[in-house]
Structures are given as C-alpha cells and as structure tokens.
A and B are shown apart, each in its own frame.
Chain A
Amino acid sequence: MVDHSVIGPAAFVRGRLTGTSSLEVHGRLEGDIDLSGDVSIQSSGLVAANVAGRRIVVRGAVKGDLTATEAIEMETGARVVGDVRAPRISIAPGALVRGFVTTGPREDASSKKTSRVAASAPAPTFAAAHRPAAGSTSTAAPAAPPRSTPARAPEASTPAKARASMSGSRVPPLPVVPTRKKGAKAVQKKR
C-alpha cells in the first residue's frame, strides 16, 4: 500500500480528491474524484461525484460521470447513473447503467463536441460535393437548381404523401402529430 488510498465503509467524504494515488471506496463520497491512478468503488461504496481515473472498477453505486484513460469495468451489482467514457468499457450482467456510454480513444470535451458537429455535417458536405461534380458539365448552372429543388420537394411533400397514405393502409406514427396540431389550430380559429 505504498500509494493507495482507502475510504473506509463507515467514512463519509465531502469534497474534492486529486492526485496520482489509487483509490478504493467502501464508504460514502460526495464531490469530485480526479486521480491519475486506479479507482475502485466497492459494493458498499456510494459515490455522488464525477470520477476520473486511469482504470475505474465499479461494484457499488455511482451518480456522476465516469471518465477513465484506460478502462471502466462495471461489475455485477454496480449501479451507475451518468455518462461513461473510456477507451475500453465493460458492463457485466447484473450491472445497472443509465447514461451515455462512449468507448474509443480519449478525447477532450471540446473535441468531442467538434466531432459530433462533424458527424452531423456529412449530409451538407455530400450535397456540396455533388454540385461541383454537376458543375463540371457545361449545363451546370441550370442543372443544379432543378436537382436541388426535387431534393427539397420530396421533403416538403412527404407530409402530404403521408397524409394521402394515411387514408390508405399506412398509418405512420409521426405524421399524426402535425395533423393534430393543425386540427387544434383550426378549432382555435373557429372559436
């Protein structure tokens, strides 16, 4: 136990834990854990904190985000409510997890956001890639707008088509909402 810390089963800690030590939690802890060592939350442990460590093993209860630079293991009996992020994550049968789970290489919060934006971006870039391809032909300028308009037209017409199909056999759940809204508006107007 050269570089090892323990929160005993009867102990209650409120505050911020920082350092390079490894930590074992048998008791209660509120606040923040920011360590570069291993963190284990034993079955009697109750943690209400964001936990950052190298390797996190959970057998008890955690309310807060878990972030590990190596791995997170949620074993049988673990109760985790919060976002879980590590290169490797394991959830054993019998572990309860509620939150956003992300595996893969370590990223900062800012790069995480940018990557999400980039993930949502491909559709516009794809369309942009198509326009120059069409622009390479001589009749590019006239050709591009019609292509874009049909592309928009189906989107606009989909509710109408859905309504038309509703009278038929199909009853998709989503278009019900706009029709209800419009019906409600009409009622309001009448009143």
Chain B
Amino acid sequence: MASTVIGANITIEGELVTDEDVVVQGTLRGKLSAKDGLVVEHGGVVEADVNAGPTQIAGAVTGNIHSTDRVDLQNGAKVVGNVKATRITIADGAQFKGNVDMDV
C-alpha cells in the first residue's frame, strides 16, 4: 500500500510534498511533489503542477507534469498540460493536450 493516499472523498487544497509514493483517488489542488512515484487513479483529480518519479495516470490531471522517470497515460486518463519525462507512454483511450518533452 502506498504510504500516502488521497481518498476518493477528500479534497486537498494546498501543497503535498513527500519522498514516498502517492496515490490520488480524490482531489488535489495546488502543488504535488512525490519523488517515489505517483498514481492518479480513475476518478482522481489533480489540478496542480506535478513533480514526481514514475507516474501512472488514469484520472484527470490539469497542470504540468515533470517526472524524473516515466509517465504512463492510461486508458481513461485526461491530461491537460506539458509533460516532461525520460519515457512517456500514451495508451489508447487516453486524452491528452499539451507538450511532450523527452529531452532529459
């Protein structure tokens, strides 16, 4: 289990910083920094600039994503913002609007 979980019925307005991994099932607005990995599950909403390790997104993200590792946009993902990562995958069924920068 992830060390930090934002549950389905919770809203955080502000800043979340952690060296561990984060799972978002609810809503986060503000700023998100998760060095050890980020999972935005289906139904999860992130309206924030994201700094993370390996990132999997199946929910909605509005904001720039900066990953030190890889970013996977899974089926059902809805991403608006620029993505900067070493590796990026966009699955069939993922919605994405933004720049891709793989030059790290």
Q: Which residues of A contact B (CB under 8 A)?
A: 1-23, 26-27, 31, 35, 37
A5 / chain B contacts, CB cutoff of 8 Å: 5-7, 10, 26
Contact A15–B18 (Cβ < 8 Å): no
B3 near A18: Cβ-Cβ < 8 Å:
no
B residues adjacent to A (C-beta < 8 A)? 1-20, 22, 26, 30
In the bound complex, residues from chain A placing their C-beta under 8 Å from that of B6 are 5
Total number of residue pairs linking A and B with CB closer than 8 Å = 89
Asked if B10 and A35 sit within 8 Å, CB to CB, the answer is yes
B13 near A16: Cβ-Cβ < 8 Å: yes
Contact in complex: B4, A16 (CB < 8 Å): no
Contacts of A31 in B (CB 8 A): 14
Tell me, rounded to whole Å, the shortest Cβ–Cβ distance linking A52 to chain B.
Answer: 13
Nearest first, the 3 A-B pairs at minimum CB distance are A15-B14, A8-B3, A11-B18
User: Are A12 and B16 closer than 8 Å at their CB atoms?
Assistant: yes
- B14 and A8 within 8 A (CB): no
Give the complex CA separation of A145 and B83 in angstroms. Answer: 85
- Give complex CA distance A14, B13 in Å: 8
Contact A10 B7 (CB under 8 A): no
Which partner residue on chain B sits nearest A19 by CB separation?
Answer: B10
Contact of A15 among B1, B3, B30 (CB under 8 A): B30
